[in-house]
Amino acid sequence: MKKIMLGNSDLQVGEISLGCMRMSELSTKDAAHVIENAMEAGVDLFDHADIYGEGKSEEVFAEAIGMNDDVRERMKIQTKCGIRKGFFDFSKEHILESVEASLRRLKTDYVDSLLLHRPDTLMEPEEVAEAFATLKESGKVRYFGVSNQNPMQMELLRKYLNDDLIVNQMQLSLVHTPMIDSGFNVNMQNDPAVVRDSSVLEYCRLNDITIQAWSPFQHGMIEGPFIGNDAFPEVNAKLQELAEKKGVTDSAIAIAWILRHPANIQPVVGSMNPKRLNAIAKASDIELTRQEWYELYRAVGNDLP
């Protein structure tokens, strides 16, 4: 699998990562199979969050791999904090407590990256900066990032940080493309022209922040996958056509579409099916032409001005 650097850090990782939200549903044996298979396929960044399975996903992960120094050094582990039941919390106290709890569950001394999970409008950036500095100085977190934040939210945070943000996780799939749509429709009086994220795609490219694409197979937030969905006949037909042409699955083509963008976007794939993950990982070997990329974009129903 091709490698990318996360932001301007020294973290070199496979260009596809594994989201571990559903790992809490697996037995230790099945989880071990998922993780080992992912590593063999070149997927070596594992994305966690303190709320996944109410912490159980991190526990199952650590138990499955029999966490030890040798295993730990072969992978990169990322976790997130800030979402609590009914509210968001970027307080220094919660950030520090959340990281300590994640480290205990993951049975490791450090995580490679920590992301703030969803924006907290009550955030006091000075307090976040203090928490980050404490975690960095103690060696418990190597790098920091955010999730679902717009440029001004990141700018406010960056004003007080001593370290750069290396990641911003944003929802992106073939059928969820607002960060791309507005760039095609500048100064137009149509719905795709509405800038919903303050040009986050361009901002992240300008500031060497890696966008990690979550839910790369979903339409909407929780509606379900678009692949194989009868509600999306044209894009599924085009995915199948290109899959047959290139000898891969339609899911691999959907991921290759994200990888084709020059922003070096890293898809976060949540499949707990080793066979499917292997098929998806082949996206790293697929090079879509410019024309093929646009054909897929238009097959969803997007009009070019």
Centre a 10 Å sphere on the Cβ of residue 266 and count the other Cβ atoms it contains.
23
> In terms of DSSP bridges, do strands 266-269 and 210-214 run parallel, antiparallel, or are they unpaired?
parallel
Distances in whole angstroms, Cα of residue 269 to Cα of each of 21, 124, 251: 10, 32, 10
| Cβ contacts of 190 within 8 Å, gap of 6 or more | none
Task: Indicate the DSSP class of residue 303.
Answer: P
CA gap 59, 62 in Å, rounded: 5
Task: Answer for the pair 102, 50: CB distance below 8 angstroms, yes or no.
Answer: yes
Task: Answer for the pair 209, 264: CB distance below 8 angstroms, yes or no.
Answer: no
Euclidean distance between the first and the last CA atom of the chain, given in angstroms as a whole number: 36
H or E segment to which residue 210 belongs: strand 210-214
Task: Answer for the pair 104, 62: CB distance below 8 angstroms, yes or no.
Answer: no
160 is catalytic: no
Active-site positions read: 52
